[in-house]
Chain A
Amino acid sequence: MIPGIVISVLTFPGVIVHEAANLLFCRFAGLAVFDVRYFRFGNPAGYVLHETTSDFRKTSW
Chain B
Amino acid sequence: MRQATCSVCGSEQPSGEMFALEGKPICAACAGNRPAEARAAGEKLQLGRIVDTTVCSVCHADQGQSELPLIGGLPVCANCAPKLYAWPFPLWLKAGMAVLLVLLGWALWHGRDYFAAGRHMVIGERALDRHDYRRASDEFVQVLKFQPGFQKAILLGAKANFLAGDPESAMPFFNERDHYEHDTLYNEVNGMLKRSVDAVRKARRAVALDDAGKHSEAAQLMNEAAQEYPQAENLGTMAQVFSARAAFYSKDYDAALKFSDAAWHRNPNDPNLSASLASALACKYAITGDPQFRSQAEQMLAKARELSDRSLADHAAYLQYSPRILYRLESRQIIDNAEYDRRFGRKGAQP
Report A's interface with B, CB cutoff 8 A: 16, 20, 23, 26-27, 30-34, 36, 38, 50-52
Residues of chain B lying within 8 A (CB to CB) of residue A27: 85-87
Q: Are A26 and B87 in contact (CB under 8 A)?
A: yes
Question: By the criterion CB–CB under 8 Å, are A32 and B93 in contact?
Answer: no
Question: Which residues of chain B are near A36, meaning CB under 8 Å?
Answer: 87
Contact: A23 with B89, CB < 8 Å? yes
Given contacts A23-B89, A31-B85, A32-B84, 19 further A-B contacts (CB under 8 A): A16-B93, A16-B96, A20-B89, A20-B93, A23-B87, A26-B87, A27-B85, A27-B86, A30-B85, A32-B72, A32-B76, A32-B85, A33-B85, A34-B58, A34-B74, A34-B84, A50-B72, A51-B71, A51-B72
CB-CB nearest in chain A for B100: A17
Q: Note all chain B residues with C-beta closer than 8 A to A16.
A: 93, 96
Q: Which residues of A contact B96 (CB under 8 A)?
A: 16
**Beta-carbon nearest neighbor of B70 in chain A:** A51
**Residues from chain B with Cβ under 8 Å of A51 in the complex:** 71-73
Indicate the size class of the contact surface on chain B.
10 to 19
* Residues of B bordering A, CB below 8 Å: 58, 71-74, 76, 81, 84-87, 89-90, 93, 96-97
The A contact surface, by secondary structure, is mixed
Interchain CA distance A58-B96 in the complex, whole Å: 28
State whether A33 touches B93 (Cβ < 8 A).
Answer: no
A46 to B106, CA, bound (A): 30
Residues of A within 8 A of B85 (CB): 27, 30-33
Q: Considering the chains assembled together, what is the distance between the CA atoms of A53 and B85 in angstroms? A: 14
Could you tell me the distance between the alpha carbons of A45 and B205 in the complex, rounded to whole angstroms? 78
Bound-state CA distance A52–B84 (Å) is 13
* Interfacial chain A residues near B72, Cβ < 8 Å: 32, 34, 50-52
Distance in Å from the Cβ of A19 to the closest Cβ of chain B? Answer: 9
User: Which residue of the partner chain A has the closest CB to B57?
Assistant: A34
Complex contacts, B97 vs chain A, CB 8 Å: 20
Whole-angstrom distance from the CB of B85 to the nearest CB of chain A? 6
Bound CA span A49–B73, Å: 13
Q: Considering only CB atoms, which chain A residue lies closest to B71 in the complex? A: A32
- A50: chain B residues at CB < 8 Å are 72
Are A33 and B87 CB-contacts (below 8 A) given A50-B72, A51-B72? Answer: yes
Q: Which chain A residue has the least Cβ–Cβ distance from B90?
A: A38
**9 A-B pairs closest in CB distance:** A51-B72, A32-B84, A33-B87, A32-B71, A32-B72, A32-B85, A33-B84, A20-B93, A23-B87
CB neighbours of B87 from chain A (8 A): 23, 26-27, 33, 36
Alpha-carbon gap, A23 to B87, bound state (A): 8
7 A-B pairs with C-beta separation under 8 A: A27-B85, A31-B85, A33-B84, A34-B72, A34-B74, A34-B84, A52-B72
What distance in Å separates the Cβ of B223 from its nearest Cβ neighbour in chain A?
67
> CA of A30 to CA of B72 in the docked complex: distance in angstroms?
12
Which partner residue on chain B sits nearest A19 by CB separation? B93
Smallest beta-carbon distance A30→chain B, Å = 7
Closest residue to A51 on the B side, CB-wise?
B72
Q: Which of A34, A38, A52 is close to B93, meaning CB atoms less than 8 Å apart? A: A38
Q: B84 contacts which chain A residues (CB < 8 A)?
A: 32-34
Nearest B residue to A13, CB-CB: B96
Closest to A35 in B: B87
* A-side contacts of B89, CB under 8 Å: 20, 23
Residue of A27, A32, A33, A38 contacting most chain B CB atoms (<10 Å): A32
Chain B proximity of A56: nearest CB distance (Å): 18
**Distance (whole angstroms) from the CB of B215 to the closest CB of chain A:** 77
A8: min CB distance to chain B, Å? 18
The CA-CA distance from A34 to B81 in the complex, in Å, is 10
Enumerate chain A residues within 8 angstroms of B74, measured Cβ to Cβ.
34
- Which residues from A are CB-within-8-Å of B86? 27
Residues of A contacting B73 in the complex (Cβ-Cβ under 8 angstroms): 51
